[in-house]
């Protein structure tokens, strides 16, 4: 393979070698069914229990509050659909935000088609949820508040402690999509009053197709997959043992390296943000500078199309993204960038670069040079830019 500079870690990450090593024995050596009576199946059962314990420990939760799923999308779907159904006697109103991942937004739309009412909160120009709007949106019929821990596009970290407190004061269930935050920022479910939390393996150097949903004890929740008795009868199906083992190992690694790793990423990321802002004219950084995921950089370059920039970066072996992974391929500007108040033509010129544990200074330097060169090249071809220059000369 040709040289690759991978700066799309918010879309997915490399499975860490330590994680692969931990998983391997559970394919061909310990392949027993965890539900079996014989001791050999017990090996799988023990491995699942260990992973559950590890994850619970990191969150300050109990083992039996962690339910393994097939990833972030499934966890989000489960949390929302099952809570809506279980609490419909109390009411039919759900509060979320305009900047959620589509796994939340599209599930909310589905629930609306089933008679639920959803309030989509605005965010400020940095992408932070407006707490006064949240308070004002609460009704006697509100059964669930779901706000993401950190945004996948612009990296803004939401005021989760405050939202948790408001939800608790009103006796409303609080779910957070922590797919981007888990492994990047410390999370304690009791301190933050979180009742349900979604996370995904492949966003934290674990395998794809595995995740979990934390469900606080006492929360009424329905089974999501009916069948066998796995996951305390709530999510049937023979367990993805290698995946669960990998997720447990990835979570353990992420927690133990968090301080050092994120400090390094933050420093490199700030270097990237500052240099691009300084060296590329007509550029803005999207999202909060203060409350931001350590590995996220998101820019808008005026007068150009983000898609063209991505294609030309790709020709240099640099992987980035514009909008979220799911919206790539569509030409609509990102709903997140529109929600922070950017006009369409600016939102179109966006670039997200997300660093990983292995990202080097050399890679960042090379990327900055490439961005400078390509943006200048694209602007030369841009009629918008030509107009602008004419008007201002
Ligand atoms: C990636 C992502 C998801 C979806 O997770 P999958 O494991 O890919 O299904 C959900 N929410 C957020 C914020 C994400 O970044």
Quick: pLDDT tens for 175-225: 999 999 999 999 999 999 999 999 999 999 999 999 999 999 999 988 999
Our answer on whether the CB atom of 101 is closer than 6 Å to any ligand 1 atom is: yes
For residues 306 and 330, the answer to whether their CB atoms sit within 8 Å is: no
Our answer on whether the CB atom of 71 is closer than 6 Å to any ligand 1 atom is: yes
Looking at residue 330, its pLDDT comes to: 57
C-alpha 16/C-alpha 201 separation (Å) is: 11
Average pLDDT rounded to a whole number, residues 17-28: 98
Pairing outcome for strands 196-200 and 173-177: parallel
Q: How far is the CA of 195 from the centre of ligand 1 (A)?
A: 19
Q: How far is the CA of 175 from the centre of ligand 1 (A)?
A: 15
Beta bridge partners of 213: 67, 198
Quick: pLDDT tens for 110-166: 999 999 999 999 999 999 999 999 999 999 999 999 999 999 999 999 999 999 999
Phi, psi (degrees; rounded to nearest 5) at 152: -75, -20
Is position 108 annotated as part of the catalytic site?
Answer: no
231 to 62, 225, 226, 317, 324: CA distances (angstroms): 14, 10, 11, 42, 31
Q: Is the pTM of this model over 0.85?
A: yes
103 to 153, 178, 236, 265, 326: CA distances (angstroms): 14, 12, 21, 27, 10
Q: How far is the CA of 179 from the centre of ligand 1 (A)?
A: 6
């Amino acid at each position: 393979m040709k040289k690759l500079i991978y700066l799309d870690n918010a879309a997915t990450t490399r499975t860490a070698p330590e994680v692969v090593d931990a998983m391997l024995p559970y394919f061909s050596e310990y392949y027993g069914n965890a539900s079996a009576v014989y001791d050999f199946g017990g090996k799988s059962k023990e491995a699942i229990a260990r992973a559950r314990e590890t994850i619970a420990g990191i969150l300050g939760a109990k083992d039996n509050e962690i339910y393994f799923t097939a990833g972030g999308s499934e966890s989000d779907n489960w949390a929302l659909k099952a809570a809506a159904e279980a609490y419909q006697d109390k009411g039919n109103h759900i509060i979320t935000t305009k900047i959620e991942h589509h796994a939340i937004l599209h599930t909310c739309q589905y629930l609306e088609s089933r008679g639920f009412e959803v309030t989509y909160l605005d965010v400020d120009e940095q992408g932070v949820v407006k707490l006064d709007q949240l308070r004002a949106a609460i009704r006697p019929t509100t059964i669930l508040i779901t706000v993401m821990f950190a945004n996948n596009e612009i990296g803004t970290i939401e005021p989760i402690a405050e939202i948790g407190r408001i939800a608790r004061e009103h006796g409303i269930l609080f779910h957070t999509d922590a797919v981007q935050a888990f492994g990047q920022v410390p999370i304690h479910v009791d301190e933050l009053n979180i009742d349900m939390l979604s996370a995904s393996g492949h966003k934290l150097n674990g395998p794809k197709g595995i995740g979990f949903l934390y469900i606080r004890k006492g929360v009424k929740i329905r089974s999501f997959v009916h069948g066998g008795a796995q996951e305390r009868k709530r999510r049937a199906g023979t367990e993805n043992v290698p995946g669960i083992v990998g997720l447990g190992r990835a979570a353990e690694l992420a927690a133990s390296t968090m301080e050092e790793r994120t400090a390094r990423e933050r420093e490199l990321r700030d270097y990237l943000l500052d240099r691009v802002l300084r060296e590329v004219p007509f550029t803005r950084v999207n999202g909060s500078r203060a409350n931001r995921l350590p590995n996220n950089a998101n820019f808008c370059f005026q007068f150009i199309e983000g898609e063209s920039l991505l294609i030309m970066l790709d020709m240099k072996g640099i992987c980035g993204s514009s909008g979220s992974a799911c919206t790539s391929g569509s030409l609509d500007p990102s709903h997140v960038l529109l929600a922070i108040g950017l006009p369409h033509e600016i939102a179109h010129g966006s670039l997200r670069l997300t660093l990983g544990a292995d990202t080097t200074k050399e890679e960042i330097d090379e990327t900055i040079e490439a961005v400078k060169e390509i943006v200048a090249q694209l602007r030369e071809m841009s009629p918008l830019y030509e107009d602008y220059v004419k008007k201002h000369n």
